Amino acid sequence: MTLPHTGRALADAAPVPYWLDRPDRPDPLPPLAGPQDADLLVIGGGYSGLWAALLAKQADPDRDVLLVDAGTCGWAASGRNGGFCAASLTHGLANGVDRFPGEIGELERLGRENLDAIATTVADFGIDCDFERTGELAVAVAPYQVAGLAADAELAQRYGHHVRLLDRDEVRAEVNSPTYLGGMFDADRVAMLDPAKLAWGLRRACLDLGVRVHEHTRVTGLRADGAALYASTLGTDPADAGMAGAPAAGRPGSVRARRIVLATNAFPPLLRRLRAYLVPVYDHVLMTEPLTPAQRDAIGWRNRQGLADTGNQFHYYRITADGRILFGGYDAVYHYGNRVAPELEQRPATFAALAAHFFTTFPQLADVRFSHRWGGVIDTCTRFCPFFGTAYGGRLAYAAGYTGLGVGATRFGARVLLDLLAGGDTPLTRLDLVRSKPLPFPPEPVRAIGINLTRWSMARADARDGRRDLWLRTLDRLGLGFDS
């Protein structure tokens, strides 16, 4: 459904991520040129790579750590997400119970410690990223979802979560939407933050500790080089580079490193073995202009919780520090052949649908306009949570598959990667989460057919009171899936 005023509300929305559209964003660092050596090379300047570089340097200040990114630190998923920083390492408790029943208690403990450690790092390094431990409110917008919230609350309480069920009046007293039929509030396992400012703050912390960082530096190949690894690179002038820093020509360089962390997530992997396990899925987001005091009064939302509805095709939304509403999700889009390209970030049909859903959720905000619209790519795997591994005889470690919940989990993932590179037997490397792999996706064209059939079936389930068809039930039995 497209409401009559949807086009008008979107007319002036800038086609760029709000978080990155800042005059105070840091200047790009120079690309790598010529041959370099390092103890540890980190490939990728998103959260995964930044946490790995920071933790490695904190553990051993004398370790020579070099980080490269094809664009600038935080320009991809780390600077485009909703800013929900969750304690879960398994993309939610229910997914963790289903996939790791023997260790979910330990994973929940580690996840809570991980969120606490992120808060400590933000405070210790003075990272101004609007970190707020406001919790998250899950809302039911269809009658069948009310029963689902009750089941979710029972499971959460069984594992020690401090959650509270809210009836229709109670949830609308928190956030006033006529679509809400009930809610579940998780008080302390989710924080809100400014994702780009977190990435930029981690970048600054890395530099302050002596990490060498080169932006607009694409790694074009990897090979063994005796006892080390050799990475060939292509550096580009930031003035000539696109968002991914990948024009046809540039300055060649190289890094010879004893160990490598590969943290490229959704982008075409440098390791062929990862291609079967990952699909890049595009998620799209709208940001409103700042709300007026009267508009804020009309919706309440005084406690600034993160919100998400509980359909298969769900929306997530939150209030920013300057009083805007971010509204995203719903329509996860896969492009044939794992295609990733800048032009795929803009999808008018999805933006129109999101705008219509926004005004259905908050009809009292009918005069609000959107300031920004953007998309970004998520690294999805069939188990919805990260997987890990090594290559080149243990000299390279990788993590991928965070499926949109990586703001918090990437710090834990970085710890795992450093343990794997150290080669020791540790509590983290013994986890089944770390030792196991998700089921692979099939090759094309079966991959695209299966993903699109799954998306269709999920939308159909939402329209049929949550009833899952034969295709979705089969995927459930096989442990396969596709997250919206």
Rounded CA-CA distance 442/440 in Å is 6
pLDDT band at residue 307, thresholds of 50, 70 and 90?
very high
pLDDT in the model for residue 58: 98
Gyration radius from the chain CA atoms: 22
Q: What secondary structure letter does DSSP report for 78?
A: G
| Predicted confidence (pLDDT) per residue in 134-176, tens digit | 999 999 999 999 999 999 999 999 999 999 999 999 999 999 9
Nearest alpha-carbon partner for 53 in 422, 434, 417: 417
168-172, 322-326, 383-387, 475-479: range with lowest mean pLDDT? 475-479
| Predicted confidence (pLDDT) per residue in 88-100, tens digit | 999 999 999 999 9
Q: Identify the residue whose tokens are 């919100």.
A: 307
Check if the beta carbon of residue 28 is closer than 8 Å to that of residue 213: no
In DSSP notation, 265-282 reads TTSPPSSGGGGGT-EEEE
pLDDT in the model for residue 242: 46
Q: What is the mean pLDDT of residues 465-477?
A: 82
pLDDT band at residue 249, thresholds of 50, 70 and 90?
low
Q: What is the mean pLDDT of residues 300-318?
A: 95
pLDDT in the model for residue 481: 61
> CA end-to-end span of the chain, whole Å?
19
Higher-confidence residue of 391 and 460: namely: 391
pLDDT band at residue 402, thresholds of 50, 70 and 90?
very high
Nearest alpha-carbon partner for 71 in 256, 186, 261, 214: 214
CA 317 to mean position of chain CA atoms = 14
Phi, psi of 349 (to 5 degrees): -65, -40
Across the chain, mean pLDDT equals 93
Check if the beta carbon of residue 41 is closer than 8 Å to that of residue 417: no
pLDDT in the model for residue 459: 81
pLDDT band at residue 350, thresholds of 50, 70 and 90?
very high
Higher-confidence residue of 452 and 292: namely: 292
pLDDT in the model for residue 246: 45
Does pLDDT of 53 surpass 90? yes
Q: Which residues pair with 284 in a beta bridge?
A: 375
Q: Which residues pair with 85 in a beta bridge?
A: 191
Does pLDDT of 312 surpass 90? no
Q: What is the mean pLDDT of residues 420-437?
A: 96
Does pLDDT of 241 surpass 70? no
Rounded CA-CA distance 484/473 in Å is 16
Does pLDDT of 386 surpass 90? yes
Does pLDDT of 422 surpass 50? yes
30-34, 126-130, 474-478: range with lowest mean pLDDT? 474-478
Rounded CA-CA distance 99/108 in Å is 13
Does pLDDT of 111 surpass 50? yes
Does pLDDT of 177 surpass 70? yes
84-88, 328-332, 413-417, 454-458: range with lowest mean pLDDT? 454-458
pLDDT band at residue 240, thresholds of 50, 70 and 90?
low
Q: What percent of the chain has pLDDT over 70?
A: 96
pLDDT in the model for residue 239: 65
